[in-house]
Amino acid sequence: MGESEKEYLLDLANANICPNCGKAIPDSTRIGTGKKTDGVFCSLDCLAQYHETELIERAKKVSALAQRHRTS
């Protein structure tokens, strides 16, 4: 994640705005990793949609690792 994206996510987190859908986030419903620079979202769906590509790549790596383990 580049610095400009981290700054963008931090600015949105401080303004309580979801970076995925643009809705206002009530303080009691903030979803994220705990680091504002990773983004703060209004729901788990928005979190997953925003990081979808990264999550798919992680799943592919885990699958490949499991396949190698099965064949060894």
SS3 at position 2: coil
pLDDT, mean of residues 17-41 = 92
Q: Which domain holds residue 46?
A: 3-71
CB 17 within 8 A of CB 24: yes
**What is the rounded CA–CA span in Å between residue 64 and residue 37?**
30
> How many structural domains are present in the chain?
1
pLDDT band at residue 64, thresholds of 50, 70 and 90? very high
What is the percent of the chain with per-residue pLDDT over 90, rounded to a whole number? 72
Judge if pTM exceeds 0.75. no
**What is the rounded CA–CA span in Å between residue 43 and residue 40?**
9
pLDDT band at residue 2, thresholds of 50, 70 and 90? low
